[in-house]
Amino acid sequence: MSLTGRFWFKKTWRGRLILLVEEKKARWSKPDEFKLRWREARLIDFAESALQPLMDLGRISRPNYSSSRPTPLRVVEPPAEKAS
């Protein structure tokens, strides 16, 4: 069984989000053929290289809430006019 790299999110009736992953599974009658199926992700699935784009997406799009207060704005003064 190996992951194909495709994933989907499902929302339950109670409002929880569940990550679904697609995997290739060998057929029991013909071991050289595979069928694709969707299943709920397990913790060990995040370590596979097929889900690396999903992990990168979480790192890139996460806003930075680590600072307790926002950085202050800097006041820019207009250039002084020369009196002639």
The pLDDT tens digits for 14-34 are 999 999 999 988 888 887 888
Tokens of 36: 């694709």
Band the pLDDT of 64: cuts 50, 70, 90: low
Per-residue confidence (pLDDT) for residue 38, from 0 to 100: 92
pLDDT tens per residue, range 27-58: 888 878 888 999 998 888 888 888 888 877 77
Task: Report the predicted TM-score, pTM, of the whole model to 2 decimal places.
Answer: 0.57
Does residue 5 come out as left (phi exceeding 0), alpha (psi in the -120 to 50 range) or beta? left
Tokens of 77: 């003064």
Q: Report the C-alpha gap between 68 and 26 in whole angstroms.
A: 51
Q: Report the C-alpha gap between 22 and 40 in whole angstroms.
A: 9
Does residue 29 come out as left (phi exceeding 0), alpha (psi in the -120 to 50 range) or beta? alpha
Band the pLDDT of 72: cuts 50, 70, 90: confident
